[in-house]
Amino acid sequence: MKLSNIKRFWISFILAIPMLIQMFAMPFHWMMPGYNWIAFITTTIIMAISAAPYWSSAWAAFKHHNANMNTLVAVGTSVAYFYSIFAMFTGREVYFESAAFVTVFVLLGDAMEEKMHNNASNALAKLIDLQAKDAEVERDGKFIKLPLDQVKVGDIIRVKPGEKVPVDGVIVDGSSTLDESMVTGESMPVTKKKGDDVVGSTINTNGTFTFKATKVGSDTMLSQIVDLVKKAQTSHAPIQNLTDKISNIFVPVVLIIAIITFVIWYVFLGATLVNAMLFAVSVVVIACPCALGLATPTALMVGTARSAKMGVLIKNGEVLEEVSDIDTVVFDKTGTITVGKPQVTNVVGNKNKVLAIAASLEENSEHPLATAVVKTAQEANITIKPVKNFAAIEGRGVKANYGNQEAFVGSDRLLENISISQEMKDQALQLQKEAKTVVYVGLGNDIIGLIAIQDVPKASSKQAIVELKKRGLKTVMLTGDNQNVAEAIGREVGIDQVIAGVLPTEKAAEIKKLQDEGNKVAFVGDGINDAPALSTADVGIAMGSGTDIAIESGGIVLVQNDLMGVVRALEISKKTFNRIKLNLFWALIYNTIGIPIAAGLFMAFGLQLSPELAGLAMAFSSVSVVTSSLLLNKTKIAGETAQVSK
């Protein structure tokens, strides 16, 4: 059975506890009874369970004439371990704890990395779970429930209110309003009638309809999105760990120094074989990569913990490196820049009267625009009166008797034989130019007012984009909405570039296009349709209010539905990555100073570093790196204290 890094870490940590106790007891001159044998047995198990994979990796790298982080781990642990066995049987000081602790510390970093990457594989499963599990299919003149895998092209399928559309198809009978925002990115629910296309996994909000299946199985839009996410995730070249880059140079240098040290002391300076070996062992032990191994995970742990308090979840350590090079931030519109729900923005005419009539009629409607009108009236404490002879006119609006007069609320299609002033026409035209949906409110034969409805930007959007521009970042909006709506929103929040009318399957391609132009791209999104783009972008930032798949696909998740979180995310990521680089620099400087001492260069001055002291120095370097990482908690982060109204 292959153990995970997390399990191997805990096993090794528990086994290393006796050696940890002994290390703390040494200053008090207390020796654990039978310590050498306890250390030998526990370290041997740690070597077999936890260090062996590093030895295998180091050997594989060696065969390809390379050196990596694992090479240093393997050399350090094997030298300390095998020398300690030799020392134990010859009555000398043992250094099993060096071998054990190097393994435990490095394994801690790997375990943390493994935990962060475990979530990535869940993204595709989340997508698949979004599919309907069955469908109501016509068989022999009756509708029966069948598993989705039994649905064929050409089948007639019935969908009731509140149900998911099982597969892609064309409506053959009935009409309804579908919420397609999760798949298409369109902010407004779409009215569907006979002859219109429907997309699998969208939600039927009202009305019952039947449709003919045109695409099933892997041909559906959702399945195509699944494939795109899969390709995007697997196409990413693994980012070579910075410590591996360092180790590629550092390891051979350390090994050469250790060999040279042994040869010089044994051949030229006349030291005994054991003493020459002690100098060589000291060099390797002090160069053991505890500090290097802890540099990344400790900074990552502190940085991610602090960012979480600010509502920013960093899921992937590789994101930090990528964030440093970001020059373009691309935003989805619906639910990201905007609220994601239709809201009343303007009321033309006598506000109270217009809202009272509109809400009284729309209260009986299930249309999302009607919901926005009713909500606004309720917030304004306007009395909603019961109406008579309510009738919904497909694609136009609603009519009913309000008091003693016929009232109506709807689109301009209702305006036949209805008088409307030129002023009202001009106002309606102006609102439409602002990419707002205009609803006409009439009483008798007159239009008494207009209601404009729009998916409005979040309060934080404009401020966040200003902050990003201050940092020299280009801002882009990428949306499935129409051009007018997108450009109006873009102008309002100060977006540099607007790319509209993009299909879900095209979003990733647009991101790739920007990357091909030489841009390092961060993408911010929240819907299913954003998942491929989130995975394709150099950095994916998902809104926490979004769908599970979007959250899983993003390397960074904003818990709060607030675009200032993007500023905080980029800032904390940069600060964390800079701290990692500082830690690595300190670890290398520490080793650079320690290695000459360990090699005996300063023996003439009475300065000598035994393997025991080298082990203690190695431990101190680890403590210093951890301390450096903890200082991340004191670093100022832009936008941390910014209070943005939700």
Q: Which helix (H) or strand (E) holds 167?
A: none
Two tokens, residue 100: 């054990």
Give 153's contacts (C-beta < 8 A, 6+ positions apart): 213, 214, 215, 216
| C-alpha dist (Å) from residue 71 to 84, 249, 284, 554 | 20, 11, 12, 33
Answer yes or no: are the C-beta atoms of 348 and 424 closer than 8 Å.
yes
Alpha-helical regions (H) of 264-408: 273-286, 290-309, 317-323, 351-362, 368-379
Query: Phi/psi class of residue 94: alpha, beta or left (left: φ > 0; alpha: ψ in -120 to 50)?
Result: beta
The letter for the amino acid at 526 is D
Answer yes or no: are the C-beta atoms of 611 and 430 closer than 8 Å.
no
Strand order in the sheet with 397-402: 343-349, 446-454, 437-443, 405-410, 397-402, 388-393
| Known active-site residue 412 | no
* Cα gap 561→161, rounded to integer Å: 29
| C-alpha dist (Å) from residue 642 to 300, 304, 314, 637 | 23, 19, 20, 10
Answer yes or no: are the C-beta atoms of 429 and 440 closer than 8 Å.
no
**Helix (H/G/I), strand (E/B), else coil: 575:** helix
**Helix (H/G/I), strand (E/B), else coil: 453:** strand
CB crowding 544-581: b at 16 or more within 10 Å, else e: bbbbbbbbbbbbbbbbbbbbbbbbbbbbbbbbbbbbbe
Catalytic residue, from 332, 481, 530, 562: name it: 332
* Cα gap 133→127, rounded to integer Å: 13
User: What positions carry a catalytic annotation?
Assistant: 332
